[in-house]
Amino acid sequence: MEASVTDPLDTERIREDFPILEREINGSQLVYLDNAATSQTPEQVIDTITEYYRTYNSNVERGIHQLSQEASIAYEDAHDRVAEFIGASDGEEIIFTKNTTEAVNLVAYAWGLAELGPGDEIVTTEMEHHASLVTWQQIGKRTGAEVKYIRIDENGYLDMDHARELITDDTKMVSAVHVSNTLGTVTPISELADIAHDHGAYLFVDGAQSAPNRPVDVTEIDADFFAFSGHKMCGPTGVGVLYGKHAILEEMQPYLYGGMMIRKVTYEDSTWEELPLKFEAGTPVISQGIALAAACDYLDEIGMERIQRHEEALAEYAYEELTAADDVTVYGPPGADRSGLVSFNLDSVHAHDLSSILNDYAVAIRAGDHCTQPLHDKLGIAASARASFYLYNTREEIDKLIEGVDAARSIFS
């Protein structure tokens, strides 16, 4: 019987799919709470990669032999499967990249360099990951377009009045993170899309922390571009996705030139392949793309809404447990209103020391600026500790995190 969206996840069962969770670190079973950086990979996805290399490894779109045809079909189907996962019309709107970072760069270079100039504005937010912040900043410098940042208020929410002030008819691109990888804030993304479109601007959504963790429908959001990474959603490293509206991608010139993306080449000039190949120059990410489709199958079978509920409940629990102590600061919105991660600091212990002590307890978290240096500057801190949750994490694991935090506190006091 199919699970209803309100059924809790059977984490005990799910954990059996992830062989790495059996690992012991320093004599204790691994507690993996670094999912916002990279998630673990289920047997189903590992098997898909193994099957590819064992049975039909071949280059795509070039051969007429059996293996090449099988690989080509699986690679094309993978685009359709990913399109379905995020509510895109079809696989032509799905470009496989190396990761989210490359997807932002693709749009910034292929669209931004051609379309932006002095007098134009790019509006983004104060909580962007460096992947988009640095990219738009540098494209701004190269084109003369000005980059403006929508404020985050004291509770970690995007200031939508400020957004309405900043986005004007001079704005050509609004680029926003869907879910902040540091604050756990969820951006009111459809509202941003409406404001951007009212002024004739495009909306680029950094979905690196939303696509893995909640149902996403790019058509409903009305995003013009949407980017995410396979390695944060049970897929392999080395594959990311750029979704773009068909009409916009058709208009854009290629980002990388070379084989695969051409139709006709002479010594004088060249013409381009249809979407998505026009943007996938050279031998593409074949096994990774096929495995990403398997990750979509895996997640959809469990149900994205259930995964979201599970993670949010864990984040709320972690928030409550952490803030029960006076010497802990948690950044971002309240526990009940955040996605599945918690960034925090302990008064007396540097985040790196905390992470190192937690490692003694086999608890893997992240410490640092999480590629959001300007946001950390705004918060007045150099670093924070971040615990991020996924479908296989449990409340007991959060108890282990809290035990480790208590131990760090007593060591340093």
Residues contributing to the site for ligand PMP (CB under 6 A): 36-37, 99-101, 129, 131, 177, 181, 206, 208-209, 229, 240, 371
Nearer to ligand PMP, 36 or 362 (CB): 36
Q: What is the DSSP letter of 54?
A: I
Taking the chain, what is the end-to-end CA distance rounded to the nearest angstrom? 53
Nearer to ligand PMP, 143 or 182 (CB): 182
Please report how close the Cβ of residue 236 comes to ligand PMP at its closest, in angstroms: 12
Return the H-helix or E-strand segment holding 409: helix 395-412
Please report how close the Cβ of residue 67 comes to ligand PMP at its closest, in angstroms: 30
How many of the other CB atoms lie within 10 Å of CB of 288? Answer: 21
Query: How far apart are the C-alpha atoms of 207 and 241, rounded to whole Å?
Result: 10
Structure-block tokens of residue 333: 């919105």
Q: Is-cis flag, bond preceding 19, omega within 30? A: no
Nearer to ligand PMP, 292 or 357 (CB): 292
Please report how close the Cβ of residue 35 comes to ligand PMP at its closest, in angstroms: 11
Please report how close the Cβ of residue 131 comes to ligand PMP at its closest, in angstroms: 4
Please report how close the Cβ of residue 262 comes to ligand PMP at its closest, in angstroms: 27
Nearer to ligand PMP, 284 or 400 (CB): 284
Q: Is 81 exposed, middle or buried (0-12, 13-18, 19+ CB in 10 A)?
A: buried
Query: How far apart are the C-alpha atoms of 223 and 219, rounded to whole Å?
Result: 7
Q: Phi/psi at 405 (nearest 5 deg)? A: -65, -40
Sign of the torsion formed by the C-alpha atoms of 61, 282, 299 and 47: positive
Buried b (16+ CB within 10 A) or exposed e, 322-344: beeeeebebbbbebebbbbbbbb
Query: How far apart are the C-alpha atoms of 383 and 355, rounded to whole Å?
Result: 11
Nearer to ligand PMP, 72 or 287 (CB): 287
Q: How far is CA 329 from the centre of its chain?
A: 25
371 assigned to active site: yes
User: Which residue type, as a one-letter code, is found at position 171?
Assistant: T
Please report how close the Cβ of residue 344 comes to ligand PMP at its closest, in angstroms: 17
Nearer to ligand PMP, 129 or 172 (CB): 129
Q: How far is CA 342 from the centre of its chain?
A: 16
Query: How far apart are the C-alpha atoms of 349 and 347, rounded to whole Å?
Result: 6
Nearer to ligand PMP, 206 or 224 (CB): 206
Q: How far is CA 271 from the centre of its chain?
A: 32
Q: Check 46, 147, 262, 371 and give the catalytic one.
A: 371
How many of the other CB atoms lie within 10 Å of CB of 377? Answer: 12
Please report how close the Cβ of residue 179 comes to ligand PMP at its closest, in angstroms: 7
Which amino acids are annotated catalytic? 371
